[in-house]
Structure 1
């Protein structure tokens, strides 16, 4: 469904393959339907001529509104499986069931006199159409096939225009409609996605009522989404996106008809399965309580392990590699070969167990995970070489290979960071479950981390320092072993998506240097947030990499120095990778809040609660919808403000804006699923002036060493008194605005008084 009310069917956008592709008979990729209103008919309603929204800000019912020649048009549309369960987990659902688009076009006449209008419906590349008894058919090879069914009001009449009529395109359905003063008339259209439904089946599909089907669809999505919404905060867009991303994620996943495996793509439309970005969605869903679904999604990577190979200097077979999702020679949903994939999938598998503590699941997954871990260990050995008696610059790293969209090979620190994290978390999961090999894997992970940190340190020592905005100088942390200078270079694949008036922008260089640059060693914990190197990375990020004056480049839109606060500190995929977690761990809360809000503002389409994937110039986004990995990472970072695991500690409300606790506001976190257990809490102003009431509920399956409750109050005074469950409590720090809670199961009520 397009902005303006036209819509199209695309074979590539739904990734149709095999038998499913053969059911789409139209020529080329797209079959585009257009709805023209008024006379002469207006088909082109852009942003300025139409308002678009989704029902209640999150439900997958799209609404377009426009006015023309005194009439108001409202088009409401949703997709459904008629006469079939909507849930892919329902055993009664057949994956061969055709999807239908159902549309209600409401025409309202607000004037004092009756109004006659015309509505035209046409499609590209459809010929030999016939209009019979409210059904639009197409004749192909002597047979008639369903293309659209319509239910018209009694006051309407319809006829099929022909090419010889000068005022209509060939095979256009023209509908004449009278709308009395102060009334409205509804037209209903039902369009199948597939092309092979015979005319004699038209009655079966046409008889479905719009309103009952809409209610069934809304009820299904509302119930599903309500189970995965875990926070409510005094920021309406955060709440809306918290619901919308759940809808987008579940809308996008599909079930391979050949194998029954679930495929989790990098976007609802067009993009195939990028394993690392699938994992970002899975990790959010684990946090939200969707572990049954994530177990199914992860099974895809286990079952199809080794089905495709990664590009790199690797040796031996790649059967242990997590990357490909090739079911067979026909059904292959594998996207670009990022060497980031393998370590990220291994990390996510281990993380899933640490959240669920499902030993049955781990027992089934362990052999696959062990093969994946041992592949990392084996490949690392090939770079453990000495040069003149000294360890090589890339000693102990994975062999050189591809990073992301940039195709140049190197010993990328980001690739190794995710691989090291995957190895370490697998060791932690195995140790927790009492499985063999845990100690060996832990020793290997520690050795890997030492080698990686040494490689990063060597590259930093060999690179010239960089200038900061305050006229001081800082070490430069490169992105790969042996690198000395930033790799912003026309030879490094110049990227120009827009016209030449856009200021210079080296997109693939920005992928290498910023998106998956040194920030990743922070986000994966290879370098701790409180180390000096973290200062170097963050200072360079804020002062150079995400500004334009230092490099003369637009890495995500041109950023002049005076716009540093609102436009700096971001990369072109602002919500996919950012320093929010690092700032929270450093207790630089204002910086974390600024980053979160700026990232959202830069990428949000507020009318429909959707993020763009990326942007090269301000206002103009690019990439397909829905870009769920980026949306999922944003919601995960919102949750980090509310609950954050730091090693063996759990931090509650460590990043909440102060205004969220102004009188009348309330912060709520419900059933967040962590590696340590499940946590819920509410925060709100207390009954007495300058007080805050907190209620915390915890169920621990791995007891943390410390639970911190941060109280970032709007009051000028500091903490003065704390009571837990009605009794005075003395373990708190007014300067740090933190109460150290008793680490216990169950519910605790905390009342904090301020001066």
Structure 2
């Protein structure tokens, strides 16, 4: 979809004075009745309610929200909004007043806090302060006379967005009785569109959904039209004599008027039969053609369609495609041109363009997009002296649909400069490209501005001169204690029987086999209830710091109850205690202790229900010391008091009751044991042994993996617990032959995309068998066409193949690869067939921008199809690495896959540069600007501007977490490419300090940028910036991202990761856990080409005197490696013992030892002999790889 960019000054249409809106009684417009007035809107939850409260369309797809209410008042009209979010209302100078009553919709949870703000043309006019449900309605009365835009903002009150249902009740505009001012000349936007034709009988777009292959015939439903010798367009005639001609832009336009310019007069009889349609849907490929409302008239040689502001879908008319359907009676019409005009306001400005001396004689291409030069400007200029321009540009607007961009093509690259950016800043200066653009006359000279920015630093430059970030600092400054909320899952590794322990001690289980439907609703529940009031204090931690044995303690009036829950195997461990599908039981120990010096009564009830939905109680049969639990005649478990207990169990009203009195310092308790229906119950006396068995089991499971012992106990526990979490969340099939790597403990399932973070993370921590079985789970799910999906995306096909190839490189398991090579190659062939579909030329014989890429699709939740660069980078990596590993076993397709990987990379980079050339440049913190690093082919700019409010207001995250930086770990960009340097600077300076989803507001982030930056603000682990820093050998930025990301999502009580901030999304999200494990491995061990790096990214804190770091059995492409670092740095030495890999020896082994006091390396000894291959300033020692064992002593001074 190549946009046509002209530089000549033509196509201006002037509109004169408009009459007053009305007379007499002022006209009122209620915003709930005129949604077309709302240009953009976003909110962090639900759907905007029109004359109703906000609501969840997934729960109520066919219903509106509840009636609008604030306090005890109900309103018939208004907007049901939700924080955090904004509504931009276009006024066009037609109104005098905005009025509303604002407040919170009553919420079942009883909470919520919102700040309502109103801005008019960028000026704040109203701020409610923090409102809560009890505050009632607050009146808004704001003057908007002559204004263009009204911005309504619902901000989080500081306690998260739960129940932040923000109502703009009776929101209304009063029309002005003053005539509107004259519109300045409007720019014809048709020149920035493609002129195309479609089949007028086809009303839909692509017919594949997100889980299906994109049909080749649906890729290019439009055809570019070319002009004939007389300058008119050659429009094909379709069945029935109809013809179709239209415009297609890169983004949606707020259209006001369309014109069809003919070679002769337009016959009125034919005009009455013309149809005009617009495209409405999720993307340029997904949607439908719908008739547009408006008046169509003939004016001389033109047919004019003046459009209604309201779209066929009831909101504001914005579309990226329009088409004229010409009836047979118009067969004689010759179309010379098309014109289109939007609702944008226009202005003029004078600009100065100057080049640095090195660029002064170089040819510079120049064009304008969404605007026009007011004076002669050729397509190419030189800049020996400043160039003076006068331009007509789109006035800044929240819609951002028609942003005027001057496009430059320089020897060092091509990019655009937005006119509004020049006007809003002293200048736009790109030092890497030698270009300076300012207002004319310039408020500052190029020389002065260069001196000014030389004294400033980007965030990354600041990070590199600061001390290392530490976990302690991150947990103090970055971590939100609310992340301690949430349950924890318990089971044996990859077992299909799961238990969930809530933070309050409620234990959930399945009384019957199977996991279909709503697990929690259909499952059973065991819940302890205090009989003497609510507990005053509660703590939770894992036994041993990492074992899946949570211990919850509660205290009330001198009585402490400790609840310990774990799953333990009960069969013989045999020679393989870590095998799958061992028989196990769930044990819940309850122990009370009296802290007082006098006797203290204890009363508690234990609810045990088999079906949480129906509250069906478990059967209770008396046995010695307690009761047997029964479910449908099967033995479910038992509850037995501990021997010599001063507490007694009995049944009352179907509930187990525990009562008694504890003497001073006395202890008592009971044990509940749950198990699947088959098997004998262990006795209560065996509980201690079961607890030891559980610990021994998990030690056996982790024993073959990489062993890590850092000086930080929290990191040690988190690494061990993270492996346990991935194993616990997984399920198995085919009697354990395949492992389903769930991406969260109890949410989503084994998604074909995100599951490969789990596989990779575990693989690189030494769980090769888990990885192999996880990969086989997906290999057995390749469909007949040759691609993979388990119900989320098809993009996971690339992620899967890339991960599979990395597994083969890491393990060297050629036999496994040979066994599956034909199936795997079949998926590679499917990729090649998809790439062939987009190798199409346009009507001028030129390659389309998307030439040679994978057909459009989705990456994650957002359902809008696009040519994502991230997606294509993953497919490139998949083909490249698949070809490499297949080449190792002599497979005939290996060379083909690698050749096609190279071709895909070339096509990807071509499409990237094409999009970048049209995109406005971006600012850095130091005052310089850089070319945009786009994330989609046909979106030359920020996605939040192209797709405002979509994907629950998270479209900006696709520029960040799944944006262009993903091309670095995928191998499309070299990590040290200046393009990567620039994009990482901007991500840190801007994106990572923007508003977070659920937490981390921008203002706070910018104030504490070191601790609240360094990670993305929706799902930090989706962004692979830590991997980019590792590949760039950028130690301090890596450590800051590593520790801040942990602190932002970790639940320190049970050592799990949340999906989002403020305990939102899925708990125990193993997709995030897999990334954490991989980053940890990079910190400790990295392969860089044929060189093996040890401790490449560790903090200097770990090398302080007396500390040790050990990493053993670390899997690498060269074979397992082990090392131990012992610091005696106060004595001026650090000792390292290394056991080198033997399977495929690297060319060199490199270890980095940054002295905590920044001292230089003085000398090095290897195996008792002097060694001279070291960098004294960097603390880097290069070692020989031909020795099996090395003892290294580094001396400092």
Deviations 1:514-564 (A, max 9, x none): 22111211221211111011022212211221222xxx6758621322221
Q: Distance in 1 between matches of 2:1060 and 2:1167?
A: 48
Listed as ranges, the matches of 1:393-542 within 5 Å are 393-488=849-944, 494=950, 506-507=953-954, 509-542=955-988
The equivalent of 1:345 in structure 2 is: 800
Listed as ranges, the matches of 1:627-642 within 5 Å are 627-642=1069-1084
- Size of the aligned set, in residue pairs, is 685
Return closer, same or farther for 1:716/1:699 CA change in 2, 3 Å cut-off.
Answer: closer
Deviations 1:256-289 (A, max 9, x none): 2688532110012233001233222222322232
1:76 to 550, 557, 564: 564
Q: Residue 1120 of structure 2 aligns to a residue in which SS?
A: strand
Return closer, same or farther for 1:563/1:489 CA change in 2, 3 Å cut-off.
Answer: same
The equivalent of 1:50 in structure 2 is: 538
Q: Is the 8 A contact 2:876 2:905 kept in 1?
A: yes
User: Larger radius of gyration, structure 1 or 2?
Assistant: 2
The equivalent of 1:331 in structure 2 is: none
Q: Is the 8 A contact 1:256 1:263 kept in 2?
A: yes
| 1:146 Cα offset (Å) | 4.1
Return closer, same or farther for 1:10/1:138 CA change in 2, 3 Å cut-off.
Answer: closer
Return closer, same or farther for 1:650/1:139 CA change in 2, 3 Å cut-off.
Answer: closer
1:323 and 2:776 are equivalent in the alignment = no
With the length of structure 2 as denominator, give the TM-score of the two structures. Answer: 0.54
Q: Distance in 2 between matches of 1:181 and 1:53?
A: 26
Q: Distance in 2 between matches of 1:106 and 1:320?
A: 56
The equivalent of 2:1119 in structure 1 is: 677
The equivalent of 1:365 in structure 2 is: 820
Q: Residue 570 of structure 1 aligns to a residue in which SS?
A: coil
Q: Distance in 2 between matches of 1:87 and 1:31?
A: 35
The equivalent of 1:66 in structure 2 is: 554
Q: Is the 8 A contact 1:671 1:679 kept in 2?
A: yes
| 1:493 Cα offset (Å) | 5.6
2:686 to 196, 204, 209: 209
| 1:450 Cα offset (Å) | 1.3
1:135 and 2:627 are equivalent in the alignment = yes
Return closer, same or farther for 1:86/1:275 CA change in 2, 3 Å cut-off.
Answer: farther
Q: Distance in 2 between matches of 1:84 and 1:135?
A: 27
| 1:580 Cα offset (Å) | 1.5
Q: Residue 118 of structure 1 aligns to a residue in which SS?
A: strand
Q: Is the 8 A contact 2:1105 2:1130 kept in 1?
A: no
Q: Distance in 2 between matches of 1:49 and 1:235?
A: 28
| 1:132 Cα offset (Å) | 2.6
Q: Residue 740 of structure 1 aligns to a residue in which SS?
A: strand
Return closer, same or farther for 1:705/1:391 CA change in 2, 3 Å cut-off.
Answer: farther
Q: Is the 8 A contact 2:726 2:1073 kept in 1?
A: no
Return closer, same or farther for 1:259/1:677 CA change in 2, 3 Å cut-off.
Answer: closer
| 1:364 Cα offset (Å) | 0.5
| 1:391 Cα offset (Å) | 1.8
| 1:221 Cα offset (Å) | 0.9
Listed as ranges, the matches of 1:300-339 within 5 Å are 300-306=777-783, 319-324=785-790, 336-339=791-794
1:113 and 2:598 are equivalent in the alignment = yes
The equivalent of 1:570 in structure 2 is: 1015
Q: Is the 8 A contact 1:613 1:624 kept in 2?
A: yes
The equivalent of 1:186 in structure 2 is: 669
Q: Distance in 1 between matches of 2:930 and 2:571?
A: 64
Listed as ranges, the matches of 1:235-314 within 5 Å are 235-256=712-733, 261-306=738-783
The equivalent of 2:652 in structure 1 is: 161
Listed as ranges, the matches of 1:544-563 within 5 Å are 544-548=990-994, 554=997, 557-560=1000-1003, 561-563=1006-1008
Q: Is the 8 A contact 2:1106 2:1128 kept in 1?
A: no
| 1:151 Cα offset (Å) | 3.2
Q: Is the 8 A contact 1:127 1:138 kept in 2?
A: no
Return closer, same or farther for 1:36/1:495 CA change in 2, 3 Å cut-off.
Answer: farther
Q: Is the 8 A contact 1:556 1:570 kept in 2?
A: no
Q: Where in structure 1 are there 5+ consecutive unaligned residues?
A: 163-170, 307-317, 325-335, 497-505
Where is the strand percentage greater, Structure 1 or Structure 2? Answer: 2
Q: Distance in 1 between matches of 2:967 and 2:1186?
A: 33
| 1:686 Cα offset (Å) | 4.8
Q: Residue 418 of structure 1 aligns to a residue in which SS?
A: helix
How large is the Cα RMSD of the aligned pairs?
A: 2.9
Q: Residue 545 of structure 2 aligns to a residue in which SS?
A: coil
Q: Where in structure 2 are there 5+ consecutive unaligned residues?
A: 1-500
Q: Residue 401 of structure 1 aligns to a residue in which SS?
A: coil
Q: Is the 8 A contact 2:1161 2:1195 kept in 1?
A: yes
The equivalent of 1:313 in structure 2 is: none
Q: Distance in 2 between matches of 1:633 and 1:27?
A: 28
Q: Distance in 1 between matches of 2:526 and 2:1130?
A: 61
Q: Distance in 2 between matches of 1:716 and 1:70?
A: 52
The equivalent of 2:1160 in structure 1 is: 718
Q: Is the 8 A contact 1:101 1:190 kept in 2?
A: yes
407-416 or 283-292: which moved more? Answer: 283-292
Q: Distance in 2 between matches of 1:655 and 1:94?
A: 39
| 1:30 Cα offset (Å) | 4.2
The equivalent of 1:708 in structure 2 is: 1150
Return closer, same or farther for 1:26/1:175 CA change in 2, 3 Å cut-off.
Answer: farther
Deviations 1:100-129 (A, max 9, x none): 421111111122222221110114502485
| 1:59 Cα offset (Å) | 0.7
1:174 to 644, 649, 657: 657
Return closer, same or farther for 1:747/1:206 CA change in 2, 3 Å cut-off.
Answer: closer
Q: Distance in 2 between matches of 1:752 and 1:258?
A: 51
Q: Is the 8 A contact 2:836 2:852 kept in 1?
A: yes
Q: Distance in 2 between matches of 1:344 and 1:86?
A: 37
Q: Is the 8 A contact 1:88 1:255 kept in 2?
A: no
Return closer, same or farther for 1:555/1:205 CA change in 2, 3 Å cut-off.
Answer: closer
Q: Distance in 1 between matches of 2:716 and 2:736?
A: 36
Q: Residue 209 of structure 1 aligns to a residue in which SS?
A: helix
Q: Distance in 2 between matches of 1:137 and 1:653?
A: 53
Deviations 1:134-185 (A, max 9, x none): 3255686xx57646433355533333223xxxxxxxx222221222222201
Return closer, same or farther for 1:658/1:553 CA change in 2, 3 Å cut-off.
Answer: closer
Return closer, same or farther for 1:688/1:33 CA change in 2, 3 Å cut-off.
Answer: closer
Q: Is the 8 A contact 2:870 2:935 kept in 1?
A: yes
1:20 and 2:514 are equivalent in the alignment = yes
Q: Distance in 2 between matches of 1:55 and 1:541?
A: 39
Q: Residue 77 of structure 1 aligns to a residue in which SS?
A: strand
| 1:222 Cα offset (Å) | 2.0
Q: Residue 60 of structure 1 aligns to a residue in which SS?
A: coil
Q: Residue 943 of structure 2 aligns to a residue in which SS?
A: coil
Q: Is the 8 A contact 1:82 1:208 kept in 2?
A: no
Q: Distance in 1 between matches of 2:518 and 2:997?
A: 43
Q: Distance in 1 between matches of 2:1130 and 2:552?
A: 48
| 1:606 Cα offset (Å) | 1.7
Q: Is the 8 A contact 2:835 2:853 kept in 1?
A: yes
Return closer, same or farther for 1:383/1:405 CA change in 2, 3 Å cut-off.
Answer: same
Return closer, same or farther for 1:488/1:646 CA change in 2, 3 Å cut-off.
Answer: same
Q: Residue 440 of structure 1 aligns to a residue in which SS?
A: helix
Return closer, same or farther for 1:484/1:80 CA change in 2, 3 Å cut-off.
Answer: same
The equivalent of 1:747 in structure 2 is: 1189
Deviations 1:204-232 (A, max 9, x none): 46678322222211210122224324222
